[in-house]
């Protein structure tokens, strides 16, 4: 298929493994889905210590289930990416381990205390849920199908996150103060979840033109702020003074971009931020240690004839 | 050989099982399936899979999803009076539906 | 008779103590086992096996929850049982508290297998428990355990085929003595209200009451025999060596393990390995840091 045809036909679930997609589309889609899959894994990796540290059995069960869901989402997403014929799951997981694989900014930061988990589970997952809902209309069908399942499951993540936040903010003074403190620390990172504004984003236009991306960074960020600023306030959190945010006449939010640390963001985006590297390497060691199991079972060996599903164009 | 047939109605849909055909090889299985299972119903794509390649696990052999209380992983368990975002409400609705169908709720 | 006792009020002091002690051993085993297995989440060899082990950890934790709930019949509550109890008052087998060395998937699988077989045998002996709440909960637990054992066996067979055999052997050597503690008699957990000069009853006496009162329909001896007779031939069939000695009488094979194979740290008597202190400190850290006095409940009380 020619790129122009792709752009003409671009629409929800329009393209699947049955179509011969041009390399540019396949590479853009792989990049996007791989980032998403990596983010599920690294988010899970960040949260997993809190399964152990949860302050009740039910909270422990919930975190175990949440982390399990995220691994499951990773499994779906790597498959959706693999189906494009550019990289295998093994290659993507190797890249994640060796520091080449990119993932969400939020998961490059350390998480040290229980109240921080609510920042991820309520706000970051809340942001992700909206984005995922829009991706049910993405043009790569396997990705859209993966989103069906992710969207079905993820409501529990946000509700569980909310429950933890509610408990903290109606808890002792110490708990409330801790939570406000971590909220101030995480708030700018959460806003940066959506990436740079549209004018600064390098890949956006193509992804939008071929229907991979169905809503712009700016739109998604606005929708998030509109939904979650009131929610944060309802639970008694004070929105930090910085970054300065004001509502325009049309209801959209203007964020003072200079108040956000974009240098840090771009360092993170290159996988050069220290704590993030710590996460990548920690996971790498754990995965290396079980390489012998994968080797024993030849887990990744494809049977004869199972060549990459896409012919080169 | 028996081949199980899966039909996708429209582009973007999921393939669902719709029956099977007898055929000596994959090529003929596809041809027969196209006639037997797709000549009337709207069809965008069909898959054929050798029956012998299909492994089955059913509810007699295993309790899918376990039997002890797993409500900790279901959104409707978490009570809140917050006006949640529409995608959270949708997710919760789908989960409530699934719970009902399983007979758990 | 199965399930005839509906309330602890029907029991005398010794029987109450025996029942409570039994429940502690059941609940603590499941909880600590599950706690260790959550370590494999996001660290398993493949995404698929990660999901499988997460499932098992959640099942076991759910079982622990069922048993801790029965302990509420004795006035206990989760926050005190799990988050405020002295580490030396825990009664789990030292098998389940063992650390996992990084990458030791062979341990993860073998430990699961050894534990699951013991569970299966133990649960069969609890099906006919005279205490209603025990008898009533066993079936659900058994249902979920079935998948666990099948899963462990699938893995054992595949690992034993290659490099995994050596690692499995190492795990057998290390874990077997601790697994034997599953069948040691359990000492009662001192209650806060007990007068400090009251001698606690000996574990053997408590165990005798457990069987006499019908809380468990088989003795620990019998459970251990059955366990040894199951796991040893199975492991040896895979090419592994166990501490068992095979006794043959015509066509009857019996496996026996010497009593001194049991690990020094029994668990059931409150003696634990160093690994336990670290583990305990970790899972109680948030509760302490936040100054909590209650454990959050999300789900309704188990039926």
ipTM above 0.90, yes or no: yes
Q: Find residues 274-293 of chain A whose CB sits inside 8 Å of chain C.
A: 283, 285-293
The beta-carbon neighbor of C58 closest among A59, A61, A287 is: A61
Token pair 């210590």 in the structure block, residue = A49
Question: C285 and chain A: CB distance < 8 Å anywhere?
Answer: yes
Three-class SS state of C213 = coil
Taking contacts as CB-CB distances below 8 angstroms, the residues of chain C near B67 are 140, 143-144
pLDDT of the residue at B64: 87
The beta-carbon neighbor of C51 closest among A57, A60, A68 is: A68
| CB-CB contact of C283 with A50 (8 Å) | no
Question: B71 and chain A: CB distance < 8 Å anywhere?
Answer: no
Report how far apart the first and last C-alpha atoms of chain B are (Å, whole number): 43
pLDDT of the residue at A305: 39
> Mind listing the pLDDT tens digit for each residue in A61-74?
999 999 999 999 99
Question: C7 and chain A: CB distance < 8 Å anywhere?
Answer: no
CA distances from C170 to A276, C146, C165 (A): 35, 26, 9
Strand partners, B48: B5
Token pair 């007990």 in the structure block, residue = C194
Query: What percentage of chain A reaches a pLDDT higher than 90?
Result: 88
CB within 8 Å: B68 and C298: no
| CB-CB contact of C156 with C57 (8 Å) | no
Torsion of CA A16, A22, A27, A30, to 10 degrees: 0
Quickly state the pLDDT bin for C193 (edges 50, 70, 90): low
Q: What are phi and psi of C275, to 5 degrees?
A: -55, -35
| CB-CB contact of C95 with C265 (8 Å) | no
CB within 8 Å: B67 and C66: no
- pLDDT mean over A142-149: 95
Identify the burial level of A252 via C-beta atoms within 10 angstroms of its C-beta, where 0-12 means exposed, 13-18 middle and 19 or more buried: middle
Three-class SS state of A298 = coil
pLDDT of the residue at C151: 92
Token pair 């874990």 in the structure block, residue = C175
A36/A150 Cα distance (integer angstroms): 12
CB within 8 Å: B68 and C147: no
**With 80 as the cut, is the pLDDT of residue A200 above it?**
no
Token pair 């025999």 in the structure block, residue = C225
| CB-CB contact of A253 with A226 (8 Å) | yes
Domain locations along chain C: 8-191+201-289
pLDDT of the residue at A301: 47
CA distances from A203 to A27, A84, A196, A199 (A): 11, 18, 11, 11
Quickly state the pLDDT bin for C302 (edges 50, 70, 90): confident
Q: Return the closest-CA partner of residue C97 out of C145, C35, C45, C150.
A: C35
- Most C CBs within 10 Å, among A42, A60, A114, A172, to test the C interface: A60
Domain locations along chain B: 2-53, 71-102
DSSP letters spanning B61-102: T--TT-SS--GGG-GGGS---S---HHHHHHHHHHHHHHHHH
Question: C82 and chain A: CB distance < 8 Å anywhere?
Answer: yes
CA distances from C246 to B92, C232, C257 (A): 57, 9, 9
The beta-carbon neighbor of B72 closest among A58, A130, A133 is: A58
The beta-carbon neighbor of B67 closest among C58, C143, C300 is: C143
- pLDDT mean over C255-268: 92
Q: What is the CATH number of domain C8-191+201-289?
A: 1.20.1260.10
Taking contacts as CB-CB distances below 8 angstroms, the residues of chain B near A154 are 91
Residue C222 or A298, more confident: C222
| CB-CB contact of A72 with C53 (8 Å) | no
Mean pLDDT (chain A) is 92
pLDDT of the residue at C157: 93
Pairing status of strand B2-8 against strand C245-249 = unpaired
Residue C95 or B59, more confident: C95
Residue A273 or C200, more confident: A273
Identify the burial level of A73 via C-beta atoms within 10 angstroms of its C-beta, where 0-12 means exposed, 13-18 middle and 19 or more buried: buried
Q: How many CB atoms lie within 10 A of CB B46?
A: 18
A162/B92 Cα distance (integer angstroms): 14
C49/C68 Cα distance (integer angstroms): 29
- pLDDT mean over C149-177: 94
* CATH class given for the domain over A3-297: mainly alpha
**With 80 as the cut, is the pLDDT of residue A37 above it?**
yes
CB within 8 Å: C298 and B70: no
Q: Give the nearest chain C residue to A66 (CA atoms).
A: C54
Taking contacts as CB-CB distances below 8 angstroms, the residues of chain C near B99 are none
pLDDT of the residue at A65: 96
Structure-block tokens of residue B6:
């899966």
Q: Find residues 90-119 of chain A whose CB sits inside 8 Å of chain C.
A: 113-114
- pLDDT mean over B40-65: 91
Q: What is the CATH number of domain B2-53?
A: 3.10.20.520
∠ CA(A80), CA(A82), CA(A84), 5° rounding? 85
Torsion of CA C80, C85, C91, C93, to 10 degrees: 110
A47/A41 Cα distance (integer angstroms): 10
**With 90 as the cut, is the pLDDT of residue A288 above it?**
yes
CB within 8 Å: A132 and B74: no
Quickly state the pLDDT bin for A197 (edges 50, 70, 90): confident
DSSP letters spanning A228-240: HHHHHHHTTPPPP
Q: What are phi and psi of C65, to 5 degrees?
A: -60, -40
A271/A250 Cα distance (integer angstroms): 37
C37/C228 Cα distance (integer angstroms): 24
The beta-carbon neighbor of B62 closest among C66, C140, C147 is: C147
Taking contacts as CB-CB distances below 8 angstroms, the residues of chain C near B78 are 298
- Most B CBs within 10 Å, among C61, C69, C119, C147, to test the B interface: C147
Residue A273: which residues within 8 A CB-CB, separation 6 or more?
A108, A264, A267
Question: C59 and chain B: CB distance < 8 Å anywhere?
Answer: yes
CB within 8 Å: C140 and B70: no
Question: A171 and chain C: CB distance < 8 Å anywhere?
Answer: yes
pLDDT of the residue at C259: 82
**With 60 as the cut, is the pLDDT of residue C249 above it?**
yes
DSSP A121: I
Taking contacts as CB-CB distances below 8 angstroms, the residues of chain C near A174 are 290-291
Mean pLDDT (chain C) is 94
Quickly state the pLDDT bin for B104 (edges 50, 70, 90): low
- Most C CBs within 10 Å, among A39, A49, A50, A51, to test the C interface: A51
Quickly state the pLDDT bin for A299 (edges 50, 70, 90): low
Structure-block tokens of residue C156:
């054992």
C277/C284 Cα distance (integer angstroms): 11
**With 50 as the cut, is the pLDDT of residue A271 above it?**
yes
Taking contacts as CB-CB distances below 8 angstroms, the residues of chain C near B63 are 143-144
Least confident of A49-63, A117-131, A288-302, C273-287: A288-302
**With 80 as the cut, is the pLDDT of residue C225 above it?**
yes
The beta-carbon neighbor of B73 closest among A62, A166, A231 is: A62
Q: Give the nearest chain A residue to B46 (CA atoms).
A: A18
| CB-CB contact of A162 with A122 (8 Å) | yes
CB within 8 Å: A75 and C42: no
Q: Find residues 51-80 of chain C whose CB sits inside 8 Å of chain A.
A: 51, 54-55, 57-58, 61-62, 64-65, 68, 78-79
Q: Find residues 39-58 of chain A whose CB sits inside 8 Å of chain C.
A: 41, 44-45, 48, 50-58
Domain locations along chain A: 3-297
CB within 8 Å: B68 and C59: yes
């Amino acid at each position: 298929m020619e790129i122009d045809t792709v752009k003409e036909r671009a629409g929800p679930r329009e393209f699947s493994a049955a179509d011969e997609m041009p390399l540019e589309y396949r590479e853009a889609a792989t990049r996007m889905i791989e980032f998403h899959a990596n983010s599920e894994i690294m988010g899970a990796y960040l949260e997993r210590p809190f399964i152990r540290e949860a302050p009740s059995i039910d909270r422990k069960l919930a975190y175990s289930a949440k982390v399990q869901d995220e691994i499951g989402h990773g499994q779906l997403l790597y498959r959706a990416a693999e189906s494009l014929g550019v990289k295998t799951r093994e290659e993507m997981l190797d890249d994640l381990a060796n520091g080449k694989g990119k993932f969400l900014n939020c998961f490059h930061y350390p998480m040290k205390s229980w109240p921080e988990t609510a920042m991820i589970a309520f706000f970051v997952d809340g942001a992700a849920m909206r984005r995922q809902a829009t991706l049910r209309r993405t043009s790569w069908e396997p990705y859209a199908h993966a989103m069906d399942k992710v969207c079905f499951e993820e409501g529990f993540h946000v509700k569980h996150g909310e429950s933890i936040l509610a408990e903290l903010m109606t808890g002792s003074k110490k708990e409330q103060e801790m939570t406000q403190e971590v909220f101030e620390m995480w708030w700018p990172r959460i806003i940066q979840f959506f990436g740079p504004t549209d004018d600064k984003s390098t890949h956006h236009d193509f992804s939008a033109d071929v229907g991979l991306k169905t809503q712009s960074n700016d739109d998604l960020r606005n929708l998030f702020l509109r939904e979650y600023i009131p929610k944060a306030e309802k639970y008694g959190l004070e929105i930090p003074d910085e970054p300065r945010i004001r509502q325009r006449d049309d209801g959209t939010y203007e964020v003072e971009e200079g108040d956000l640390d974009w240098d840090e963001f771009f360092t993170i985006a290159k996988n050069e931020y220290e704590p993030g590297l710590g996460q990548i390497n920690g996971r790498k060691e754990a995965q290396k240690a079980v390489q012998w199991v994968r080797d024993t079972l030849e887990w990744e060996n494809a049977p004869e004839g199972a060549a990459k599903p896409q012919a080169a164009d | 050989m028996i081949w199980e047939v899966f039909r996708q109605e429209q582009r973007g849909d999921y393939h669902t099982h719709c029956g099977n055909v007898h055929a000596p090889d994959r090529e003929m299985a596809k041809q027969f399936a196209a006639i037997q299972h797709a000549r009337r119903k709207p069809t965008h794509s069909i898959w054929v899979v050798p029956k012998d390649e299909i492994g089955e696990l059913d509810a007699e052999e295993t309790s899918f999803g376990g039997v002890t209380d797993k409500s900790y992983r279901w959104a409707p368990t978490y009570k809140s009076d917050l006006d949640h975002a529409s995608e959270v409400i949708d997710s919760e609705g789908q989960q409530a539906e699934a719970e009902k169908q399983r007979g758990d709720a | 008779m199965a399930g005839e006792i509906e309330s602890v009020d029907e029991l005398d002091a010794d029987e109450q103590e025996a029942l409570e002690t039994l429940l502690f051993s059941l609940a603590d085993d499941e909880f600590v086992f599950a706690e260790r297995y959550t370590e494999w989440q996001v660290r398993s060899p493949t995404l698929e096996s990660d999901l499988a082990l997460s499932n098992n950890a959640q099942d076991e934790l759910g079982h622990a929850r069922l048993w801790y709930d029965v302990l509420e019949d004795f006035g206990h509550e989760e926050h005190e049982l799990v988050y405020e109890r002295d580490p030396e008052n825990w009664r789990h087998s030292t098998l389940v508290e063992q650390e996992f060395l990084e990458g030791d998937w062979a341990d993860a699988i073998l430990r699961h297998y050894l534990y699951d077989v013991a569970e299966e045998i133990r649960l069969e002996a609890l099906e006919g428990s005279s205490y209603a709440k025990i008898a009533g909960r066993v079936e659900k637990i058994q249902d979920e355990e079935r998948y666990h054992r099948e899963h462990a066996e699938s893995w054992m067979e595949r690992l034993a085929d290659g490099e995994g055999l050596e690692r499995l052997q190492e795990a057998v050597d290390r874990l077997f003595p601790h697994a034997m503690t599953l069948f040691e008699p359990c000492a009662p957990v001192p209650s806060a209200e007990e007068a400090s000069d009251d001698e606690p009853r000996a574990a053997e006496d408590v165990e005798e009451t457990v069987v006499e009162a019908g809380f468990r329909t088989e003795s620990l001896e019998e459970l251990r025999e059955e366990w040894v007779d199951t796991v040893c031939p199975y492991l040896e069939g895979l090419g592994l060596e166990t501490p068992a000695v095979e006794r043959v009488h015509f066509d009857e094979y019996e496996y026996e393990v010497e009593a001194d194979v049991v690990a020094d740290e029994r668990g059931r008597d409150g003696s634990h390995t160093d690994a336990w202190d670290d583990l305990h400190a970790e899972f109680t850290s948030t509760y302490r840091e936040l100054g909590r006095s209650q454990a959050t409940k999300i789900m309704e009380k188990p039926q």
